[in-house]
């Protein structure tokens, strides 16, 4: 019969239409604007329309999600900021679009370089969010951020003041990574202390 295929196809759209409302009824009051509803709508079992109404609703980002990086500082004992970066320059060297600029500090007396950056720029307009800087940083000093709402009317060239964020923020967005890095650091420090103890 001519038209059978069309009717079959329309059956699919009709089923979709019904599914959307059936899923709404099944998940009454929980499907929208709730974390469990969003999780349901991005699982394989969801039926019907599963649009997420951005910006009223936002999809949670997974831990590995990467966006323009930031610099990590630890809270110092005197309340100051202990910047983890040692200005070794690996991130600037590995950066594919070369959007990282680092000014290394020199000791004012001896003129020799000290492990601390004077200035640190990231041109976020050029940054391609590849994550190499964070991946190859030996000190976990530069981390990919989760904040993706950075559109602006100007060019986004971030300096060190704008880039610095506390280690607690790092912990809050990437708990598993933070824990892993922390354990590694502790193990390294313990090994160093043991070595120093053995030497003396």
Partner 1 sequence: MTTLVETETLDLAARFPGSAAADTRPGYSDWIVNKDKLVEVATTLRDEFGYDLLSHVTGVDYFPDKMEVVYEAFKTTGGPGVLFKVQVPRVDPIEVPSVTPIWPGAEFQEREIWDLYGIKFTNHPDLRRILMWEGFEGHPLRKDWHEPFYEEDFKPLKSRWPDGKYVSSEDKNPYKDNLQFPQNFDPEKVKIDGEAPLYDTLQKYTTVDGGIKTDHIIVNMGPQHPSTHGVFRAAVVLDGETIVSLKPVMGYLHRNHEKIGERNTFLQNMPYTDRLDYFNSMSNNWGYSLAVEKLMNIKVAERAEYLRVIMAELSRIQNHLILIGMLLNDLGAYFTPALYAFEERELILDIFEATSGTRMMCNYHRFGGVSRDLPEGVLEKIRGLVEDRLPRKADEFDRLLTENEIFISRMKGVKVMDAEDAVKYSITGPVLRAAGVPYDVRRAQPYGIYDRFDFDVALRHNGDLYDNYLIRLDEIRQSIRILQQAVKQMPEGPINSQKPQYQVRVPAGEAYGRIEAPKGELGYYVISTGKPNPWRYHVRAPSFINITALEKMCVGKKIADFVVILGVLDIVLGELDR
Angle at 162 between CA 159 and CA 167, to 5 degrees: 120
Q: Which stretch binds partner 1 (CB under 8 A): 20-28, 75-83, 88-96, 192-200?
A: 88-96
Strand, coil or helix: what is 110?
A: coil
* Residue 19 interacting with partner 1 (CB under 8 A): no
Piece of 39-47, 73-81, 161-169, 179-187 that binds partner 1 (CB under 8 A): 39-47
Query: Which residues, at least 6 apart from 91, have a Cβ–Cβ distance to it below 8 Å?
Result: 100, 102, 132, 133, 136, 137, 142
Q: Which two tokens stand for residue 136?
A: 């190859």
Among 94, 156, 162, 171, binds partner 1 (CB under 8 A): 94
| 139, 157, 169, 182: which one binds partner 1 (CB under 8 A) | 157
Supply the minimum distance, in Å, between the C-beta of residue 129 and partner 1: 6
Beta strands in 55-95 (DSSP E): 67-75, 81-83
Does position 100 bind partner 1 by CB under 8 A? yes
Gap between the Cα atoms of 116 and 187, Å rounded: 23
Residue from 19, 37, 104, 165 binding partner 1 (CB under 8 A): 104
Please answer whether residues 136 and 94 qualify as being in contact, where contact means their C-beta atoms are separated by less than 8 angstroms: yes
Q: Does 26 bind partner 1 (CB under 8 A)?
A: no
Query: Which range touches partner 1 (CB under 8 A), out of 26-34, 75-83, 99-107, 178-186?
Result: 99-107
> In terms of CB distance, is 72 or 102 closer to partner 1?
102
């Amino acid at each position: 019969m001519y038209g059978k295929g069309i009717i079959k196809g329309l059956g699919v759209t009709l089923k979709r239409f019904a599914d959307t409302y059936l899923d709404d009824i099944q998940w009454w009051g929980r499907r929208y604007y709730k974390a469990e509803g969003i999780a349901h709508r991005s699982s394989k079992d969801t039926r019907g329309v599963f649009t997420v109404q951005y910006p009223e609703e936002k999809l949670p980002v997974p831990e590995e999600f990467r966006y323009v990086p930031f610099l990590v500082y630890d809270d110092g004992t005197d309340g100051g900021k202990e910047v983890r970066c040692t200005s070794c320059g690996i991130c600037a060297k590995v950066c594919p679009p070369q959007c990282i600029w680092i000014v290394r500090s020199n000791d004012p007396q001896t003129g020799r370089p000290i492990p601390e950056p004077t200035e640190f720029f990231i041109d976020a307009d050029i940054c391609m969010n590849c994550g190499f800087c964070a991946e190859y940083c030996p000190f976990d000093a530069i981390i990919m951020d989760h904040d993706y709402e950075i559109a602006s009317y100007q060019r986004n060239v971030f300096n060190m003041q704008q880039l610095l964020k506390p280690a607690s923020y790092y912990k809050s967005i990437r708990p598993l990574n933070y824990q892993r890095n922390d354990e590694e650091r502790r193990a390294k420090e313990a090994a160093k202390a043991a070595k120093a103890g053995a030497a003396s």
